[in-house]
């Protein structure tokens, strides 16, 4: 679910004809975008990373992909993935928890006041902004069942990030390449201290034996 920077908050939505529009969010606590949840299937998008790239594709509830054409018009009618259906998700540098959705033409998804003459017309979504701004800064709300996986993945990566020098200081001697790999793998798998102890014992045997 893409929570857009409008007042009140709206979500990026599409209907079965492929029309893309903004839809007010009803499931929200005190107007706080961080609490928003989809109340309508039209607000739900399935995100998948495109194999071999750092880009993502977004599939609507009707099985079609979100697309942004060369003039910045969004639709959701595509069955195939081309450059028009490929997007990059960029964390906003100065606003934690928010993101930018960038096309492969390096333009950004943005919202703006409707040009319609109708009273209370919904904000419009475009894909032709050339700079990051408040209007392009949005939140991405995921289904709860996906969050533990992401958290676990971050924790695994954090455990992997240890230098050879730190490992050698912990063991108390220079390590062979295979020993470094063994310790890093042990950190991921949760038996780091046991493996480190084995290597310490091995080091003493090598020293005195």
% of the chain exceeding 90 in pLDDT: 51
Supply the pLDDT for residue 15. 95
DSSP state of 67: E
Residue 56 pLDDT class (50, 70, 90 cuts): very high
Domains and CATH numbers, the chain: 2-141 (2.80.10.50), 148-208 (no CATH)
pLDDT digits (tens, 9 = 90+) for 59-102: 999 999 999 999 999 999 999 999 999 999 999 988 888 999 99
Token digits of residue 105? 């033409």
CA angle 16, 20, 144 (to 5 degrees): 85
Per-residue pLDDT at 164: 85
> What does the pLDDT average to over 110-131?
87
- Predicted pLDDT at 6: 93
Higher pLDDT, 189 or 90: 90
pTM, two decimal places: 0.66
Among 87, 124, 84, residue whose Cα is nearest residue 108 = 87
- Which tokens in the block code for residue 53? 């790239």
200 Cβ partners below 8 Å, 6+ apart? 171, 172
**pLDDT for the residue numbered 197:** 80
**Confidence band of 208 (pLDDT split at 50, 70, 90):** very low
Query: Would you give the DSSP letter of residue 31?
Result: T
Q: How confident is the model at residue 196 (pLDDT cuts 50, 70, 90)?
A: confident
Range name among 22-36, 115-129, 178-192 with the lowest pLDDT average: 178-192
98: closest CA among 108, 107, 106? 108
Q: How far is CA 34 from CA 41, 162, 184, in A?
A: 19, 33, 36
Judge whether 102 and 87 are in contact, CB under 8 Å.
Answer: yes
125-165 pLDDT, tens digit each = 999 999 999 999 999 988 654 444 544 455 555 555 678 88
Q: Is 85 within 8 Å of 67 (Cβ atoms)?
A: yes
The chain-wide mean pLDDT, for the chain, equals 85
The residue that leads in pLDDT, 75 or 175, is: 75
Question: What's the pLDDT at 127?
Answer: 96
Tokens of 75: 């639709």
């Amino acid at each position: 679910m893409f929570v857009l920077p409008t007042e009140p908050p709206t979500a990026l939505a599409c209907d079965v004809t492929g029309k893309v529009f903004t839809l007010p969010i009803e499931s929200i606590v005190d107007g706080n975008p961080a609490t928003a949840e989809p109340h309508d299937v039209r607000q739900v998008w399935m995100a998948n990373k495109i194999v071999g790239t750092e880009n993502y594709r977004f599939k609507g509830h009707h099985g079609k992909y979100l697309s942004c054409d060369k003039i910045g018009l969004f639709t959701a009618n595509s069955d195939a993935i081309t450059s028009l259906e490929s997007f990059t998700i960029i964390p906003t540098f100065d606003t934690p928890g928010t993101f930018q959705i960038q096309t492969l033409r390096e333009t950004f998804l943005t919202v703006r006041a409707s040009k319609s003459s109708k009273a209370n017309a919904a904000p419009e979504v475009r894909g032709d902004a050339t700079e990051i701004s408040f209007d392009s800064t949005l939140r991405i709300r995921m289904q709860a069942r996906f969050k533990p996986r992401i958290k676990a993945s971050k924790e695994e990566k954090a455990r992997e990030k240890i230098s050879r020098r730190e490992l050698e200081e912990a063991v108390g001697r220079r390590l062979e390449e295979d020993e470094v790999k063994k310790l890093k793998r042990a950190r991921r798998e949760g038996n780091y201290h046991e493996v480190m102890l084995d290597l310490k014992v091995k080091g003493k045997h090598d020293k005195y034996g």
